[in-house]
Structure 1
């Protein structure tokens, strides 16, 4: 994409306009209620994988889950016992995710914490600075989690159609992996919104989280010509935004996403008016 000075100024204006005061509604607001990095890291993955559907309902579902986890996600996961604690999630339903999917996820997260010390440790084990972006490390992260045994299933192997697999898509399949890229944004970037706990990962390597709002706006702004919101679109949009900030292309995600949500919710502001003739 060719550099457009007007678009750059508008993107920067949006970035500075959509600050922490405009976080709500967003699942990250729930994660930010925890003060300990270990809680934010574990809560972040749970909140991110549930980030599909209407944002207000996402926030409600995430709040309910953390209530079931005694508002201490890290400690709860570390000491989680399938026989003792699994039943408390029986009544949990969010769209097509069920309590057993959460139980499976917690079991996988617990094994990652025991094996690597943190979720960041697991991701770092598969990350190489020479990789073009975080995609290869995300593949390794997902495949490691899904390879762990899970007592919920026969032979402790996770079936191909198990709901927990929806939480953990892989770039290998061509999925945009919006929710996991969102989690990486929260964990890697550090500003007034994002948490920045994984300091060994370069923000320049992040891939844009592509949801319906960001995909629509990206097409209007000329950041992509692709119609399908898949991994290739995510790479294309990231590359286009990298023209304006090669060290941190994903920094515009929060503003573009919330601009898009506001457009749908309030009928305000067409993002195409960000661009004028070159």
Structure 2
């Protein structure tokens, strides 16, 4: 609502204003007193200046000029999760050859002979990711017995009784070949299994990671739509995405490794592993009626 002030000629003796309804003029009571009319004539120029200043300088209050809390969009942060299970089609084996001998040279020579035979077998089988993972040589000590009539503390002395050498190799092989190949490697000279892990190929894991990311992104946006719809809002734009990938943990469901009869190879059954990704999304939103 805005009042508009009107000034009338001094001869009329009236000073008043009209309301927004443009109805009758409201007169100041002093303007109707003829005895004081000369006073208004003299004061009319000053009053005109006063009311003109008031009308020009008074602010106009409008809804669009009212202060607002901020001009930035309303933002929702939400996370989604994606999981993909893939079969463990391969086995990662780490086989070792160990030998103990009276001298270090004898221990190393025997380990080298057996390890070369195992490596040749694995290369012939065309395993993948074949590499040496360990090489050790260390003495084996034993307590020396005191000699009759010797010093009393001679029993604390130690001497080198033998040397132990070892080497290990790791490789990746399909599940259906792992049992038979491990059995052949043991007959060729390997005498210890350091690690046995069911896994998928790197290519299969990468494809699963990509699919897990897609599922996580869709899950985040679906959850955002569900949450906003419950409060009569709707998603406007995706402002930011952040990806967190979880490490791949082999899932040994259904895995079995058992030694059969002497003439049979080790039987290995594959399992599954799960690839997980988490996507955090920031989305702007607005009322659904807009």
Instruction: Give the TM-score, by structure 1 length.
Output: 0.21
Q: Which has the higher helix share?
A: 1
Instruction: Give the TM-score, by structure 2 length.
Output: 0.21
Structure whose CA Rg is larger = 2
